[in-house]
Amino acid sequence: RKEVEQDPGPFNVPEGATVAFNCTYSNSASQSFFWYRQDCRKEPKLLMSVYSSGNEDGRFTAQLNRASQYISLLIRDSKLSDSATYLCVVNLRRGGGNKLTFGTGTQLKVEL
């Protein structure tokens, strides 16, 4: 079983739609959680951190459920520019440092 599991998609949605991505992780000792965005042939970039209390950044809302080891990302009012791969990431602290473990990524295509 992979440490971080995501539906690879692709999710094809019309502009303006609301789309939700889910992710599960296997290591209950994971300490921090993130969503990264990766455009085609580019490096991953941090989209937002994820907290148990839930957090929102504009059209993006992230939620963490530690009991179920489940992370979600909600995108409202999708824009064409949201088309990218969304990587679910957990941080397992080891060796005195922070080891990020990435999911395979979920591909989003927003269409006219």
Partner 1 sequence: GAGVSQSPRYKVAKRGQDVALRCDPISGHVSLFWYQQALGQGPEFLTYFQNEAQLDKSGLPSDRFFAERPEGSVSTLKIQRTQQEDSAVYLCASSLEARNPSYEQYFGPGTRLTVT
The site for partner 1 (CB under 8 A) is made up of 4, 8, 31-32, 42-46, 49, 87, 91, 93-105
Q: Cβ 36 to partner 1, closest distance in Å?
A: 9
Rounded least distance, CB 80 to partner 1, Å? 23
Q: How far is the CB of 55 from partner 1 (least distance, A)?
A: 12
3-state SS, residue 30? coil
Q: How far is the CB of 57 from partner 1 (least distance, A)?
A: 14
Residue 3: closest CA among 70, 103, 100, 99? 103
- Nearer CB in complex with partner 1: 63/105: 105
DSSP state of 81: G
- Cα separation, 104 vs 23, in Å, equals 10
Q: Specify the residue, 16 or 46, whose C-beta has the smaller distance to partner 1.
A: 46
84 sits in which H/E element: strand 84-94
Torsion over CA: 91, 46, 53, 22 (sign): negative
Using the minimum distance from each CB to partner 1, give the nearer residue, 89 or 110.
89
